[in-house]
Amino acid sequence: MELPTELAGTTEVKGRMNEEQRSILLEASSHFPPPQGAKLSYEMAGFRADASILRSTVFRVGILVALRSLKTQSVIGLMITASHNKVSDNGVKVADPSGRMLTQEWEPFTDAPDPHHLLQLIVEFVNKENIPLEGTWRGEVLLARDTRPSGESLLEAAKLLARDTRPTGISSIVGASAIFMGVLTTPQLHWMVRAKNKGIKTSELEYFEQLSSSFRCLVDLIPQGSSSKYVNNKLLVDGANGVGGEMLEVLKKSLIDLDIETRNSGEEGVLNEGVGADYVQKEKVVPCGFGPPDVGTRCASLDGDADRLVYFRVLSNSDGRINLVDGDKMLSLFALFINEQLSILNEAKDENVDKDNKTRVGVVQTAYANGASTDFLKQLGIEEVFTPTGVKYLHEKAAEYDIGIYFEANGHETVLFSENFLCWLEGRISELSSTTKGYFIYSFNSYFLDWVKVVDRTAVVTANAETVVVRPLGVQEAINAETAKYDRGRCFIRPSGTEDVIRVYAEASTQEAAESLASSVARLVDQFLGFGSHR
């Protein structure tokens, strides 16, 4: 195969990538042509689409993570999963050296139409990032997948199989290697990447031991004799028929202070079908396998790869309706607890502590966060910032703080601690409170989510952290007019990151009003863009 003329004679290309490496990339990429007519892009937390069209994408991400490993001189993670999507979908996520999400500057390329153009993009990328292709570090990637049937075949596009000598994604970068860690949850792989880069053992055993020991430390904060330590220890968990249910069966053996019953563990049901955090959070009803006998018992739902979590309580005398504890409510509880513990540390009389060097705490939310949770955080005096919807935006902003907290309503939730803060905290552990308060679930305004099927979601363009529609013209004015009709009304729309759907978020003083507002705005979107179908 001949190189494009713009590549063939450049000294810069030859200096960065030798002939052997270029030939391997051309040969390998010829076996993974991109699907005709498909538009794939790196969305909120990675790629996601029907599994049948993803092999070329996984191959290219394999190249990217190998290069990322060379650039950072660290282990990188690649997870095959489509999270809360239906079982026929799949996708890929990348874990950076710290265990966090891939930095936005490295979001991968997918639109090269053929091997030559792909090689050109890779060479330009290597040159731009000054990636050492022939250093002592040859690149290492940890791989995992969830329980989707398509996961195994997609892994073949990412790594070199023992039964095959043809290079695939990772192995097409000379010297790079991949280690398959097994069928895991997404949080497990992120933890393993971070642990590996810190020289810590990375097996499932170590993961479960750390989780269980951390849980015991939290339980020990509850005063002896407190009735709260001995009641409500029953927890029902909806495993979404995914990998989370399987892993919880192993973990719960170590959680002696909690009586966990796992349902929807994948033995009979379909992944994410009528179950899981996304279903429970959006529909506000019990998942399959839950009902009237569960009234009064704490319940929780995971999603397909166990990186979402919501709690709920089954309401008595209802048709499956629930009292939902979503990410907004959990965020407020975490922020309250952390704020109180920091107050204890800051008030401690320690002449060696610089009182002016206060810990910087930030809560990162999207415009779709419940307004009452935002009001509650303001009362605590915690710094708040807003980003566009998507974990990658929230995570990157949260990393700027000593303690960064972000919980999306859908159950994506993280508390980040900077390395400097952790080092400081190690010397102050004994001063933390040995008591816990009876934390409550704050009473929030009612809200409602709706969606509208459209011809092309990219026709809707938003600004100001997705709170204002700038195109098509006239949509925002119509939304404003409708919202003004409702007490404490708030309403936003935004295009989905994965499908041709426009999501509608509405909030008002009552649940009924919120649902009415959402339906009204959904009809407006339908008039401007839709097919005439919304839910």
Q: How far is CA 307 from CA 46, 83, 277, 323, 324, in A?
A: 14, 8, 9, 21, 18
Strands (E), 457-496: 461-463, 468-471, 490-495
Name 450's bridge partners.
Answer: 504
Q: Give kind and range of the element (H or E) at residue 149.
A: none
Residues in the chain: 535
Both structure tokens of 469: 């529609």
Cross-sheet strand order for the sheet of 234-238? 259-263, 234-238, 298-302, 309-314, 322-325
DSSP H helices, 30-74, are: 55-72
Could you give the residue numbers annotated as active site? 83
**Segment 530-535 long-range contacts (CB within 8 Å, at least 24 positions apart):** 530/452, 530/453, 530/454, 530/455, 530/502, 531/453, 531/454, 531/455, 533/452, 533/453, 534/450, 534/451, 534/452, 534/453, 535/450, 535/451
Name 426's bridge partners.
Answer: none
Both structure tokens of 420: 């400097």
Give the strand pairing for 140-145 and 75-80. Answer: parallel
Strands (E), 115-272: 140-145, 177-183, 234-238, 259-263
Q: Give kind and range of the element (H or E) at residue 7.
A: helix 5-8
Nearest Cα neighbor of 278 from 301, 251, 312, 299 is: 301
Q: Give kind and range of the element (H or E) at residue 298.
A: strand 298-302
